[in-house]
A and B are shown apart, each in its own frame.
Chain A
Amino acid sequence: MDTVLEATDLTKHYEDFSLRGASLTVRKGSVSGIFGPNAAGKSTLLRMLAGQTPVPDGTLRVLGQSYADADRDLKNRIGYVPQEPVFYENRTVEWHARFAAPCFARWDGAAFHRLLEDFRVNPLKKVKHLSGGQKKLLSLALAFSHGAELLILDEPTAGLDIVHRRSLLDRLRALANAGDTTVVVASHITDGLDEIAEDITFLHDGRVVLRESADDLATNWKWVIYKDGSIDRAVEERFASVRRQPFGSRGLTGDFPAVREALAPALASGDARLDHASLEDILLSFIKGA
């Protein structure tokens, strides 16, 4: 499998925050999700991946190159949508397309206008009259219209209504499935992005605390609902989080295949049963456990 992006030990210190040794591998044609609470370092990491901010420490190769000695075409091949896109407020949407066109070697004006139509953004409107969600859509339309092979999107669903969010998720999945486009998204809430992300990275306090494929997460992480005293103490002690209730407890295991044997008797007798663990449940266990 081709690797589109390879980041090793990316580190950056700010006065009040540090990104500490973030590593990440992104396969061609995949959708990677970077999740984490507010101020976990997601935007810092994404700006580095997109070449918007230098990498003081660690190595980063994107599309086979490093930004330090990249050819001028590298940024053409990347579509970056910042968390808070900035535009010329007094200019129209259309003006921004004319402004963007000469910057990108493979600018596709027709595609841009089709996207605006899909997103229901009026090209003649001034940016200052757009809602927050529409600004995000404009930023996405720009990123999708210059033949980028790698899309790096910071909170792409923020501010979007359910219809636009769904259509964006479908579009991202379709782009990745077509094989030539790779998508990296970051979000502080799972918000449907967990449905399309095949590889999950979880950032917390500037560190990568979890890197797993979505398939492995589904195999390894389960809620065990059990009658108190019905399961092995050793298993109980290894739960990533436990919610004790007077009428039965819930324990979250991050290594289900390893405890399957030990749980088998309780599962067979009905003293325990399994429940699906959502990405949100899993991520919360890291935040609360830390």
Chain B
Amino acid sequence: MFVVLSPTHPDPMYKQVTDQIKDAIASGDLKPNDRLPSVRELSEALNVSAITIKRAYQDLETDGFILTRAGMGSFVAPVERDALRERKLAEVQEELRRLVRSSTKFGISAGDIARLARQIEGD
């Protein structure tokens, strides 16, 4: 797991935590049933308040990414790959929107970007 917070990031701390844990689950860095660090462990390691981490874990649980068992800690839920894919697709769409808008100003079309993407995939 790779979680590092940035004070200059526009997102609040708890959101940075949830996003990075979701990324770790999506990339397979964290696998279903893997144990997450305790709230105290993570808050001490990241030098933030326990409330921040609690909030992050609650959100992750609500979204179905983790399960918390009383007295045992938090574990990665058996997430469906489709749900992760949907989430990533939404992110990619948002980034592409920015990219396409700034590129068209330079006469670079969506087709050019698609060609570049295929080229990168082939590398």
A-to-B contact residues, CB < 8 Å: 223, 225, 227, 245-250, 270-271, 275-276, 278
Q: With a CB–CB cut-off of 8 A, which chain A residues contact B46?
A: 245, 247
Selected contact of B6 from candidates A246, A247, A275, CB within 8 Å: A275
Selected contact of B3 from candidates A223, A247, A271, A275, CB within 8 Å: A247
Complex: A225 Cα to B27 Cα, angstroms: 18
Question: Measured between C-beta atoms, what is the minimum distance from B6 to chain A in Å?
Answer: 5
Is B8 a contact partner of A248 (Cβ separation < 8 A)? no
Complex: A276 Cα to B10 Cα, angstroms: 12
Complex: A202 Cα to B1 Cα, angstroms: 37
Complex: A220 Cα to B46 Cα, angstroms: 26
B4 within 8 A of A: yes
Q: Check A225/B37 contact, CB under 8 A, given A246-B45, A247-B1, A247-B46.
A: no
Q: With a CB–CB cut-off of 8 A, which chain A residues contact B41?
A: 246
Selected contact of A247 from candidates B8, B9, B27, B42, CB within 8 Å: B42
B-to-A contact residues, CB < 8 Å: 1-4, 6, 8-9, 23, 27, 37, 41-42, 45-46
Is A275 a contact partner of B8 (Cβ separation < 8 A)? yes
Complex: A136 Cα to B63 Cα, angstroms: 54
Complex: A202 Cα to B11 Cα, angstroms: 31
Selected contact of B45 from candidates A225, A247, A271, A275, CB within 8 Å: A247
- Apart from A247-B45, A249-B4, A276-B8, list 13 A-B contacts with CB within 8 A: A223-B6, A225-B4, A225-B6, A245-B45, A245-B46, A246-B41, A246-B45, A247-B37, A248-B3, A250-B4, A271-B2, A275-B9, A278-B8
Q: With a CB–CB cut-off of 8 A, which chain B residues contact A225?
A: 4, 6
B contacts with A: majority SS: loop
Q: With a CB–CB cut-off of 8 A, which chain B residues contact A271?
A: 2
Q: Which residue of B lies closest to A228 (CB)?
A: B2
Complex: A248 Cα to B6 Cα, angstroms: 12
Q: Which residue of A lies closest to B1 (CB)?
A: A247
A-B contact pairs, 6 of them (CB 8 A): A245-B4, A247-B2, A248-B2, A270-B23, A271-B2, A275-B6
In the complex, which of the residues A225, A227, A248 has the most CB atoms of chain B within 10 Å of its own CB atom? Answer: A248
Q: With a CB–CB cut-off of 8 A, which chain A residues contact B8?
A: 275-276, 278
Q: With a CB–CB cut-off of 8 A, which chain A residues contact B23?
A: 270
In the complex, which of the residues B3, B37, B42 has the most CB atoms of chain A within 10 Å of its own CB atom? Answer: B3
Q: Which residue of A lies closest to B41 (CB)?
A: A246
Q: With a CB–CB cut-off of 8 A, which chain A residues contact B42?
A: 247
Q: With a CB–CB cut-off of 8 A, which chain B residues contact A249?
A: 4
Q: With a CB–CB cut-off of 8 A, which chain A residues contact B45?
A: 245-247
The 8 A-B residue pairs whose C-beta atoms are closest, nearest first, are A248-B4, A247-B3, A225-B4, A248-B2, A227-B2, A275-B6, A276-B8, A246-B45
Q: Which residue of A lies closest to B8 (CB)?
A: A276
Complex: A241 Cα to B31 Cα, angstroms: 32
Q: Which residue of B lies closest to A278 (CB)?
A: B8
Complex: A247 Cα to B46 Cα, angstroms: 8
Question: Measured between C-beta atoms, what is the minimum distance from B11 to chain A in Å?
Answer: 13
Complex: A275 Cα to B3 Cα, angstroms: 14
Question: Measured between C-beta atoms, what is the minimum distance from A160 to chain B in Å?
Answer: 24
Q: With a CB–CB cut-off of 8 A, which chain A residues contact B27?
A: 270
Q: With a CB–CB cut-off of 8 A, which chain B residues contact A278?
A: 8
Question: Measured between C-beta atoms, what is the minimum distance from B96 to chain A in Å?
Answer: 17
Question: Measured between C-beta atoms, what is the minimum distance from A90 to chain B in Å?
Answer: 47
